[in-house]
Amino acid sequence: MNPDTPLQLLGGLTAREFLRDYWQKKPLLIRQAIPGFESPISPDELAGLSLEEEVESRLVLEHGERPWELRRGPFAEDTYQNLPERDWTLLVQAVDQFVPDVAELLEQFRFLPSWRIDDVMISFAAPGGGVGPHFDNYDVFLLQGQGRRNWKVGQMCDAESALLPHADLRILADFQQTDEWVLEPGDMLYLPPRLAHFGIAEDDCMTYSVGFRAPSAAEVLTHFTDFLAQFLPDEERYSDAGAAPVSDPHEIQRDALDRLKALLSEHMSDERLLLTWFGQFMTEPRYPELVAGTEVEEDDLLGAIEDGAVLIRNASARLAWSEVDVGLVLFASGQSRLLPANLRDLLKLICAAEALHLENLGQWLADDEGRKLLLELVKQGSLEFADE
Protein backbone atom coordinates (compact mmCIF):
# COMPACT_ATOMS: atom_id res chain seq x y z
CA MET A 1 0.00 0.00 0.00
CA ASN A 2 1.41 3.37 -1.04
CA PRO A 3 1.53 5.64 2.04
CA ASP A 4 1.22 8.72 -0.19
CA THR A 5 -2.07 7.78 -1.84
CA PRO A 6 -4.98 9.93 -0.60
CA LEU A 7 -7.55 7.69 1.09
CA GLN A 8 -11.28 8.28 1.04
CA LEU A 9 -11.45 6.54 4.42
CA LEU A 10 -9.23 9.33 5.82
CA GLY A 11 -11.13 12.15 4.10
CA GLY A 12 -8.48 12.48 1.41
CA LEU A 13 -5.48 12.42 3.74
CA THR A 14 -2.69 10.02 2.92
CA ALA A 15 -1.67 7.39 5.47
CA ARG A 16 1.56 9.33 5.98
CA GLU A 17 -0.29 12.59 6.72
CA PHE A 18 -2.78 10.90 9.02
CA LEU A 19 -0.03 9.17 10.99
CA ARG A 20 2.00 12.35 11.23
CA ASP A 21 -0.80 14.72 12.27
CA TYR A 22 -3.58 12.73 13.97
CA TRP A 23 -2.72 9.15 14.98
CA GLN A 24 -2.32 8.99 18.77
CA LYS A 25 -2.51 12.79 18.86
CA LYS A 26 -5.85 14.39 18.06
CA PRO A 27 -9.35 13.56 16.85
CA LEU A 28 -10.34 13.63 13.19
CA LEU A 29 -13.88 13.79 11.86
CA ILE A 30 -14.25 12.29 8.39
CA ARG A 31 -17.53 12.93 6.59
CA GLN A 32 -18.46 10.02 4.31
CA ALA A 33 -15.33 8.01 5.08
CA ILE A 34 -17.29 5.15 3.51
CA PRO A 35 -19.78 6.82 1.15
CA GLY A 36 -23.24 5.27 1.29
CA PHE A 37 -22.16 2.85 4.02
CA GLU A 38 -24.88 0.40 4.93
CA SER A 39 -24.43 -1.70 8.01
CA PRO A 40 -23.92 -5.32 6.93
CA ILE A 41 -25.80 -6.43 10.01
CA SER A 42 -29.17 -5.28 11.32
CA PRO A 43 -30.02 -4.34 14.92
CA ASP A 44 -32.01 -7.59 15.19
CA GLU A 45 -29.02 -9.64 14.05
CA LEU A 46 -26.82 -7.81 16.55
CA ALA A 47 -29.32 -8.58 19.31
CA GLY A 48 -29.32 -12.19 18.06
CA LEU A 49 -25.54 -12.39 18.50
CA SER A 50 -25.88 -11.17 22.09
CA LEU A 51 -27.86 -14.34 22.89
CA GLU A 52 -24.93 -16.57 21.91
CA GLU A 53 -22.74 -18.13 24.58
CA GLU A 54 -19.41 -17.38 22.89
CA VAL A 55 -20.21 -13.74 22.14
CA GLU A 56 -19.21 -10.99 24.57
CA SER A 57 -21.98 -8.43 25.01
CA ARG A 58 -23.15 -5.71 27.41
CA LEU A 59 -26.24 -3.61 27.91
CA VAL A 60 -25.93 -0.16 29.44
CA LEU A 61 -29.12 1.47 30.72
CA GLU A 62 -29.01 5.07 31.74
CA HIS A 63 -32.02 4.83 34.07
CA GLY A 64 -31.99 1.16 35.05
CA GLU A 65 -32.15 -0.12 38.60
CA ARG A 66 -29.88 2.79 39.30
CA PRO A 67 -28.34 5.45 37.08
CA TRP A 68 -26.00 3.76 34.59
CA GLU A 69 -26.84 0.11 35.03
CA LEU A 70 -24.55 -2.44 33.32
CA ARG A 71 -25.79 -5.93 32.40
CA ARG A 72 -23.56 -8.55 30.86
CA GLY A 73 -24.60 -11.05 28.17
CA PRO A 74 -25.35 -13.60 26.96
CA PHE A 75 -28.92 -12.35 27.14
CA ALA A 76 -32.23 -14.19 27.03
CA GLU A 77 -34.62 -13.61 24.15
CA ASP A 78 -37.13 -11.73 26.27
CA THR A 79 -34.49 -9.21 27.39
CA TYR A 80 -35.28 -6.99 24.44
CA GLN A 81 -39.05 -7.07 25.01
CA ASN A 82 -38.58 -5.61 28.46
CA LEU A 83 -36.34 -2.68 27.64
CA PRO A 84 -37.54 0.92 27.78
CA GLU A 85 -38.16 2.98 24.62
CA ARG A 86 -35.09 5.13 25.18
CA ASP A 87 -31.71 5.56 26.78
CA TRP A 88 -30.07 2.15 26.49
CA THR A 89 -27.22 0.70 24.45
CA LEU A 90 -26.30 -2.84 23.48
CA LEU A 91 -22.58 -3.36 22.81
CA VAL A 92 -21.29 -6.49 21.11
CA GLN A 93 -17.55 -7.14 21.04
CA ALA A 94 -15.51 -8.67 18.18
CA VAL A 95 -18.37 -8.90 15.68
CA ASP A 96 -15.69 -9.25 12.97
CA GLN A 97 -15.03 -12.76 14.31
CA PHE A 98 -18.62 -13.82 13.79
CA VAL A 99 -19.79 -11.91 10.71
CA PRO A 100 -17.48 -12.11 7.65
CA ASP A 101 -18.93 -8.94 6.09
CA VAL A 102 -17.89 -7.04 9.21
CA ALA A 103 -14.38 -8.53 9.09
CA GLU A 104 -14.14 -7.30 5.50
CA LEU A 105 -14.39 -3.73 6.76
CA LEU A 106 -10.96 -4.17 8.32
CA GLU A 107 -9.43 -4.40 4.84
CA GLN A 108 -9.89 -0.63 4.66
CA PHE A 109 -7.58 -0.23 7.66
CA ARG A 110 -4.57 -1.91 6.09
CA PHE A 111 -2.65 1.37 6.27
CA LEU A 112 -2.05 0.41 9.91
CA PRO A 113 -0.34 -2.78 11.16
CA SER A 114 -2.99 -5.49 11.33
CA TRP A 115 -1.56 -6.80 14.62
CA ARG A 116 -2.44 -3.45 16.24
CA ILE A 117 -6.14 -3.95 15.49
CA ASP A 118 -8.09 -5.61 18.25
CA ASP A 119 -11.69 -5.96 17.13
CA VAL A 120 -14.78 -4.37 15.67
CA MET A 121 -17.31 -3.69 18.41
CA ILE A 122 -20.81 -2.77 17.28
CA SER A 123 -23.32 -0.93 19.40
CA PHE A 124 -27.02 -0.44 18.95
CA ALA A 125 -28.53 2.44 20.89
CA ALA A 126 -32.16 3.40 21.31
CA PRO A 127 -32.80 7.16 21.09
CA GLY A 128 -30.96 8.95 23.90
CA GLY A 129 -28.73 5.91 24.44
CA GLY A 130 -25.04 6.18 25.22
CA VAL A 131 -22.50 4.75 27.63
CA GLY A 132 -21.74 8.06 29.33
CA PRO A 133 -18.73 10.35 29.09
CA HIS A 134 -15.58 8.22 29.35
CA PHE A 135 -12.14 7.66 27.93
CA ASP A 136 -10.50 4.55 26.52
CA ASN A 137 -6.82 3.67 26.67
CA TYR A 138 -6.64 2.77 23.01
CA ASP A 139 -7.23 4.42 19.63
CA VAL A 140 -10.63 3.96 18.09
CA PHE A 141 -12.34 4.72 14.78
CA LEU A 142 -16.09 5.24 15.32
CA LEU A 143 -17.94 4.56 12.09
CA GLN A 144 -21.62 5.44 11.99
CA GLY A 145 -23.52 2.42 10.69
CA GLN A 146 -27.15 3.47 10.98
CA GLY A 147 -29.11 6.44 12.31
CA ARG A 148 -27.56 9.58 13.71
CA ARG A 149 -25.28 9.95 16.68
CA ASN A 150 -24.14 13.05 18.47
CA TRP A 151 -20.50 12.77 19.51
CA LYS A 152 -18.96 15.16 21.98
CA VAL A 153 -15.24 15.12 22.66
CA GLY A 154 -13.51 16.67 25.64
CA GLN A 155 -10.31 16.76 27.62
CA MET A 156 -7.35 14.37 27.65
CA CYS A 157 -7.66 12.06 30.67
CA ASP A 158 -5.42 9.77 32.68
CA ALA A 159 -5.56 7.44 35.69
CA GLU A 160 -6.05 10.49 37.94
CA SER A 161 -9.24 11.63 36.16
CA ALA A 162 -12.18 11.49 38.59
CA LEU A 163 -14.80 8.81 37.84
CA LEU A 164 -18.37 8.40 39.09
CA PRO A 165 -18.58 5.78 41.83
CA HIS A 166 -19.59 2.72 39.81
CA ALA A 167 -18.05 -0.70 40.11
CA ASP A 168 -18.16 -1.63 36.41
CA LEU A 169 -18.55 1.48 34.30
CA ARG A 170 -15.82 4.07 34.00
CA ILE A 171 -17.89 7.24 33.66
CA LEU A 172 -16.07 10.56 34.03
CA ALA A 173 -17.26 12.74 36.91
CA ASP A 174 -16.21 15.82 34.97
CA PHE A 175 -16.53 16.13 31.17
CA GLN A 176 -15.12 19.29 29.62
CA GLN A 177 -16.55 19.45 26.12
CA THR A 178 -14.34 20.92 23.40
CA ASP A 179 -16.17 19.84 20.21
CA GLU A 180 -19.38 18.24 19.02
CA TRP A 181 -20.58 16.67 15.77
CA VAL A 182 -23.59 14.69 14.54
CA LEU A 183 -22.51 11.64 12.54
CA GLU A 184 -24.61 10.09 9.79
CA PRO A 185 -24.13 6.65 8.21
CA GLY A 186 -20.69 6.46 6.57
CA ASP A 187 -19.22 9.28 8.70
CA MET A 188 -16.33 8.32 10.94
CA LEU A 189 -14.60 9.86 13.94
CA TYR A 190 -11.04 8.92 14.90
CA LEU A 191 -10.19 9.34 18.59
CA PRO A 192 -6.71 9.04 20.08
CA PRO A 193 -6.23 7.16 23.37
CA ARG A 194 -7.41 8.88 26.56
CA LEU A 195 -9.52 11.55 24.88
CA ALA A 196 -12.83 12.00 26.75
CA HIS A 197 -15.84 11.28 24.52
CA PHE A 198 -19.58 10.93 24.84
CA GLY A 199 -21.90 9.59 22.13
CA ILE A 200 -25.66 10.03 22.33
CA ALA A 201 -28.03 8.38 19.88
CA GLU A 202 -30.42 10.80 18.17
CA ASP A 203 -32.56 7.92 16.88
CA ASP A 204 -32.15 4.13 16.51
CA CYS A 205 -28.44 4.08 15.97
CA MET A 206 -25.62 1.66 15.21
CA THR A 207 -21.96 2.55 15.70
CA TYR A 208 -18.98 0.46 14.64
CA SER A 209 -15.85 0.86 16.80
CA VAL A 210 -12.60 -0.34 15.28
CA GLY A 211 -10.47 -0.71 18.41
CA PHE A 212 -6.73 -1.19 18.76
CA ARG A 213 -4.43 -3.21 21.00
CA ALA A 214 -1.59 -1.62 22.88
CA PRO A 215 -0.02 -3.41 25.82
CA SER A 216 0.49 -1.25 28.89
CA ALA A 217 4.06 -0.64 30.01
CA ALA A 218 3.25 -2.80 33.06
CA GLU A 219 2.11 -5.63 30.79
CA VAL A 220 5.20 -5.36 28.62
CA LEU A 221 7.46 -5.60 31.65
CA THR A 222 5.66 -8.35 33.55
CA HIS A 223 4.85 -10.51 30.51
CA PHE A 224 8.24 -10.12 28.86
CA THR A 225 10.15 -10.86 32.05
CA ASP A 226 7.95 -13.93 32.72
CA PHE A 227 8.70 -15.06 29.17
CA LEU A 228 12.45 -14.44 29.58
CA ALA A 229 12.56 -16.20 32.92
CA GLN A 230 11.63 -19.52 31.32
CA PHE A 231 14.98 -19.51 29.54
CA LEU A 232 17.14 -18.61 32.56
CA PRO A 233 18.70 -21.39 34.62
CA ASP A 234 18.29 -21.21 38.39
CA GLU A 235 22.06 -21.13 38.86
CA GLU A 236 22.37 -17.84 37.02
CA ARG A 237 22.32 -15.45 39.97
CA TYR A 238 23.37 -12.11 41.27
CA SER A 239 27.13 -12.36 41.34
CA ASP A 240 29.73 -10.13 42.92
CA ALA A 241 32.88 -11.88 41.79
CA GLY A 242 35.74 -9.42 41.95
CA ALA A 243 33.98 -7.17 44.50
CA ALA A 244 36.05 -4.62 46.40
CA PRO A 245 36.17 -4.86 50.24
CA VAL A 246 33.19 -3.06 51.86
CA SER A 247 33.69 -0.02 54.05
CA ASP A 248 30.40 -0.65 55.95
CA PRO A 249 28.96 -4.21 55.81
CA HIS A 250 25.39 -2.87 56.21
CA GLU A 251 25.46 -0.57 53.20
CA ILE A 252 24.16 -1.54 49.76
CA GLN A 253 26.69 0.17 47.58
CA ARG A 254 26.44 1.58 44.10
CA ASP A 255 28.50 -1.36 42.83
CA ALA A 256 25.63 -3.76 43.66
CA LEU A 257 23.18 -1.66 41.61
CA ASP A 258 25.59 -1.60 38.68
CA ARG A 259 25.85 -5.39 38.79
CA LEU A 260 22.02 -5.69 38.82
CA LYS A 261 21.67 -3.25 35.94
CA ALA A 262 24.20 -5.26 33.93
CA LEU A 263 22.25 -8.46 34.63
CA LEU A 264 18.97 -6.84 33.58
CA SER A 265 20.29 -5.18 30.47
CA GLU A 266 22.05 -8.35 29.31
CA HIS A 267 18.70 -10.15 29.19
CA MET A 268 16.39 -7.26 28.40
CA SER A 269 18.37 -6.39 25.30
CA ASP A 270 17.99 -9.83 23.75
CA GLU A 271 16.21 -8.66 20.60
CA ARG A 272 15.33 -12.11 19.35
CA LEU A 273 13.53 -12.99 22.57
CA LEU A 274 11.87 -9.58 22.70
CA LEU A 275 10.52 -10.02 19.17
CA THR A 276 9.39 -13.58 19.91
CA TRP A 277 7.53 -12.48 23.01
CA PHE A 278 5.99 -9.43 21.32
CA GLY A 279 4.84 -11.31 18.23
CA GLN A 280 3.30 -14.03 20.36
CA PHE A 281 1.64 -11.51 22.65
CA MET A 282 0.20 -9.35 19.85
CA THR A 283 -1.18 -12.35 17.97
CA GLU A 284 -2.79 -13.94 20.99
CA PRO A 285 -6.42 -14.49 20.04
CA ARG A 286 -9.03 -12.62 22.00
CA TYR A 287 -10.93 -15.92 22.31
CA PRO A 288 -8.31 -18.73 22.17
CA GLU A 289 -11.02 -21.37 22.52
CA LEU A 290 -12.31 -20.36 19.08
CA VAL A 291 -8.98 -21.27 17.47
CA ALA A 292 -9.38 -25.03 17.67
CA GLY A 293 -7.09 -27.16 15.55
CA THR A 294 -8.04 -30.11 13.35
CA GLU A 295 -6.16 -33.39 13.08
CA VAL A 296 -5.18 -33.81 9.46
CA GLU A 297 -2.51 -35.72 7.56
CA GLU A 298 -0.29 -34.01 5.01
CA ASP A 299 -1.54 -36.21 2.15
CA ASP A 300 -5.17 -35.46 2.96
CA LEU A 301 -4.52 -31.72 3.14
CA LEU A 302 -2.69 -31.73 -0.19
CA GLY A 303 -5.31 -33.94 -1.81
CA ALA A 304 -8.09 -31.64 -0.63
CA ILE A 305 -6.34 -28.53 -2.00
CA GLU A 306 -5.70 -30.30 -5.28
CA ASP A 307 -9.40 -31.16 -5.40
CA GLY A 308 -10.31 -27.47 -5.07
CA ALA A 309 -10.58 -27.00 -1.28
CA VAL A 310 -9.95 -23.48 -0.04
CA LEU A 311 -8.14 -22.56 3.17
CA ILE A 312 -9.08 -19.37 4.98
CA ARG A 313 -7.85 -17.73 8.18
CA ASN A 314 -9.92 -18.73 11.17
CA ALA A 315 -11.82 -15.49 11.94
CA SER A 316 -10.54 -15.62 15.53
CA ALA A 317 -6.90 -16.26 14.59
CA ARG A 318 -4.25 -13.56 14.36
CA LEU A 319 -1.20 -13.65 12.09
CA ALA A 320 1.96 -11.56 11.69
CA TRP A 321 5.48 -12.15 10.44
CA SER A 322 8.91 -10.67 10.94
CA GLU A 323 12.50 -10.92 9.83
CA VAL A 324 15.35 -12.12 12.05
CA ASP A 325 19.05 -12.56 11.36
CA VAL A 326 18.67 -16.27 10.64
CA GLY A 327 15.47 -16.17 8.59
CA LEU A 328 11.82 -15.33 9.18
CA VAL A 329 9.38 -15.79 12.01
CA LEU A 330 5.68 -16.41 11.63
CA PHE A 331 3.47 -15.55 14.57
CA ALA A 332 0.20 -17.38 14.50
CA SER A 333 -2.35 -16.98 17.27
CA GLY A 334 0.17 -16.68 20.08
CA GLN A 335 2.74 -19.15 18.72
CA SER A 336 5.91 -18.50 16.78
CA ARG A 337 7.80 -20.50 14.21
CA LEU A 338 11.25 -19.86 12.77
CA LEU A 339 11.30 -20.37 9.00
CA PRO A 340 13.84 -20.17 6.19
CA ALA A 341 14.13 -16.87 4.31
CA ASN A 342 12.94 -18.38 1.03
CA LEU A 343 9.40 -18.70 2.44
CA ARG A 344 8.95 -14.91 2.55
CA ASP A 345 6.34 -14.76 -0.22
CA LEU A 346 4.42 -17.66 1.28
CA LEU A 347 4.32 -15.94 4.69
CA LYS A 348 3.07 -12.74 3.07
CA LEU A 349 0.43 -14.70 1.20
CA ILE A 350 -0.71 -16.56 4.31
CA CYS A 351 -0.99 -13.30 6.29
CA ALA A 352 -2.69 -11.26 3.57
CA ALA A 353 -4.70 -13.54 1.30
CA GLU A 354 -8.41 -13.88 1.89
CA ALA A 355 -8.20 -17.47 0.76
CA LEU A 356 -5.49 -20.00 -0.08
CA HIS A 357 -6.08 -22.40 -2.93
CA LEU A 358 -4.39 -24.31 -5.70
CA GLU A 359 -3.95 -21.18 -7.85
CA ASN A 360 -2.27 -18.88 -5.38
CA LEU A 361 -0.41 -21.60 -3.47
CA GLY A 362 0.95 -23.03 -6.71
CA GLN A 363 4.67 -23.76 -6.33
CA TRP A 364 4.51 -23.72 -2.53
CA LEU A 365 2.72 -27.05 -2.53
CA ALA A 366 5.89 -28.55 -4.00
CA ASP A 367 8.06 -27.04 -1.26
CA ASP A 368 8.63 -29.32 1.76
CA GLU A 369 8.84 -26.47 4.26
CA GLY A 370 5.90 -24.68 2.69
CA ARG A 371 3.68 -27.76 2.91
CA LYS A 372 4.77 -28.42 6.48
CA LEU A 373 3.88 -24.87 7.44
CA LEU A 374 0.39 -25.06 5.93
CA LEU A 375 -0.18 -28.37 7.66
CA GLU A 376 0.89 -26.99 11.04
CA LEU A 377 -1.35 -23.95 10.69
CA VAL A 378 -4.35 -26.14 9.94
CA LYS A 379 -3.51 -28.44 12.86
CA GLN A 380 -3.13 -25.44 15.12
CA GLY A 381 -6.41 -23.91 13.94
CA SER A 382 -5.16 -20.61 12.49
CA LEU A 383 -6.14 -21.83 9.01
CA GLU A 384 -9.27 -23.83 8.25
CA PHE A 385 -11.18 -25.18 5.31
CA ALA A 386 -13.62 -22.60 3.95
CA ASP A 387 -16.71 -24.73 4.30
CA GLU A 388 -16.09 -25.85 7.88
**Interaction with ligand SIN in 131-190: which residues (CB under 6 A)?**
131, 136, 140
Q: What mask of x and - would describe binding to ligand SIN in positions 75 to 114, judged by CB under 6 A?
A: --------------x-------------------------
Q: Which is nearer to ligand SIN, 57 or 89 (CB)?
A: 89
Shortest Cβ 128–ligand SIN spacing (Å): 12
Residue from the set 136, 139, 187, 384 that interacts with Co ion by CB under 5 A: 136
Report the nearest approach of ligand SIN to the CB of residue 14 (Å): 26
Window 268 to 287, contacts with ligand SIN (CB under 6 A): none
From CA 154, how far away is CA 175, in angstroms rounded?
6
For residues 280 and 228, is the Cβ–Cβ distance under 8 A?
A: no
39 binds ligand SIN (CB under 6 A): no
Q: Does 197 bind ligand SIN (CB under 6 A)?
A: yes
Shortest distance, CB of residue 385 to ligand SIN, whole angstroms? 34
Tell which residue, 129, 134, 136, 140, has the closest CA to residue 23: 140
Whole-angstrom distance, CA of residue 279 vs CA of residue 333: 9
Q: Is 384 helix (H, G, I), strand (E, B) or coil?
A: strand
Q: Find the part of the chain contacting ligand SIN (CB under 6 A) among 123-131, 242-250, 289-297, 311-319.
A: 123-131
Minimum separation from the CB atom of position 211 to Co ion (A): 9
123 contact partners, CB below 8 Å, separation of at least 6: 89, 90, 91, 92, 131, 206, 207, 209
The item of Co ion, ligand SIN, none sharing an interface with residue 87, based on CB under 5 to 8 Å by kind, is none
> Which residue, 62 or 136, is less far from Co ion as judged by CB?
136
Q: Among 73, 145, 154, 199, which residue sits at the site for ligand SIN (rule: CB under 6 A)?
A: 199
Contact (Cβ atoms closer than 8 angstroms) between residue 120 and residue 105:
yes
Q: How far apart are CA 154 and CA 338, in angstroms?
A: 46
Asked if 119 interacts with Co ion (CB under 5 A), we say no
Angle at 86 between CA 84 and CA 89, to 5 degrees: 95
Judged by CB under 6 A, the residue of 57, 123, 283, 333 near ligand SIN is 123
Distance CA 269, CA 217 (A): 16
Residues 202-261 close enough to bind ligand SIN by CB under 6 A: 207, 209
89 binds, among Co ion, ligand SIN, none (CB under 5 to 8 A by kind): ligand SIN
Q: Are 215 and 274 in contact (CB under 8 A)?
A: no
Instruction: Kindly report whether the peptide bond that precedes residue 74 is cis, defined as omega within 30 degrees of 0.
Output: yes
How many Å apart are CA 111 and CA 140, to the nearest integer?
Answer: 14
The nearer residue to ligand SIN, 140 or 377, going by C-beta atoms, is 140
In 80-178, the DSSP E strands lie at: 88-92, 117-125, 140-146, 149-156
User: What does the alpha-carbon distance between residue 343 and residue 339 come to, in Å, rounded to a whole number?
Assistant: 7
Q: Is 207 or 316 the residue whose CB approaches ligand SIN more closely? A: 207
Least distance CB 23 / Co ion (angstroms): 17
Number of neighbouring beta carbons within 10 Å of residue 334:
18
Point out which residues bind Co ion (CB under 5 A). 136
Point out which residues bind ligand SIN (CB under 6 A). 89, 123, 125, 131, 136, 140, 197, 199, 207, 209
